[in-house]
Structure 1
């Protein structure tokens, strides 16, 4: 059975991906700027359905807790928490589609998911979260900084076509910086 978690703030909702999101996922994932920074590809309805099924499987196993990010009731992005299996920490990843880019959606989604991930009563109660992004993506760096994730290290490229990465981290109890 899949745990249903919906996180809400005044202007943003995070909820698990649903099969009915396939068309909007295809539209958002076709954006070249998004494709530049993400490793997954959704090139049509079948890919979208497989991707969404994979997100549901992640919830079932507890290995990948992914959410559609909704603003004004419309899916505009994605955010995921990948808990570590052996320690009370996890990694957050996210993307925002072109229609909502530059509106602070990613920062608000990261803050909302961070609060839930650190919550010991309603969330996983993690003590540390990490956020890793391509060093060439200044928008992701700003999101990390804005939400209180301090830059801890520069990571070497993982593949022949990748650049360095940034590892940002935040400990439970650390307040976000503006």
Structure 2
């Protein structure tokens, strides 16, 4: 499945975003982005060199092939600025996740990309009617992204791998 999404520029002057499946051209930018200690704190798969990047990309490709995980590189003017992903869950649910490159934070990239992923999921994935966003309780930036994109806080979850601390569950239901 080849999917590309475009997010229009904002009235505030932020450039358009392009979302597309990851490919080999992303190896070097991925390694560069993963040098950020803040990003590494919140992600599970380390990317420190080419071998790690190739493994990371293979996980993304496997997800597309199986139809269980859909991960998109988020580009702004051709530059890697983030990632959004959706993992199918049980029944009618799926989980969304994202990260933003250090130099792109604070400009609304995560909410814009997550909104595009959300619309795509509800429109393109038959049977998915509920999206869940989970984050560790001390990740206040993710809480703000969830709120900005209409993911309603549902409950606090006890610490459970991969989260060493309690976490928040935010939910967004498909439009009727």
Gaps of 5+ in 1: none
- Equivalent in the alignment of 2:12: none
Q: Cα gap change, 1:64/1:161 in structure 2, threshold over 3 Å: closer, same or farther?
A: closer
Q: 1:42: how far off?
A: 0.4
Q: Cα gap change, 1:161/1:66 in structure 2, threshold over 3 Å: closer, same or farther?
A: closer
Residue deviations 1:18-75, cap 9 Å, x none? 0110000000011001111111210101110111111111100011111101112211
1:135 and 1:28 map into 2 onto residues whose CA distance is: 24
Structure 1 position 156 matched with structure 2 position 158: yes
1:59 and 1:12 map into 2 onto residues whose CA distance is: 21
Structure 1 position 9 matched with structure 2 position 11: no
1:40 and 1:63 map into 2 onto residues whose CA distance is: 18
Is the Cα–Cα contact under 8 Å of residues 136 and 163 in structure 2 kept in the other structure?
Answer: no
- Equivalent in the alignment of 2:80: 75
Please report the TM-score for the alignment, with normalisation by the length of structure 1.
Answer: 0.90
Gaps of 5+ in 2: 9-15
Equivalent residues in 2 for 1:7-156, closer than 5 Å: 7-10=5-8, 11-84=16-89, 86-119=90-123, 123-125=124-126, 126-156=128-158
2:160 and 2:33 map into 1 onto residues whose CA distance is: 26
Deviation beyond 2 Å, 4+ runs, structure 1? none
Q: 1:159: how far off?
A: 4.5
Q: Cα gap change, 1:161/1:63 in structure 2, threshold over 3 Å: closer, same or farther?
A: closer
1:108 and 1:171 map into 2 onto residues whose CA distance is: 18
Q: 1:166: how far off?
A: 0.4
Task: Compute the RMSD of aligned alpha carbons.
Answer: 1.4
2:141 and 2:58 map into 1 onto residues whose CA distance is: 29
1:40 and 1:160 map into 2 onto residues whose CA distance is: 11
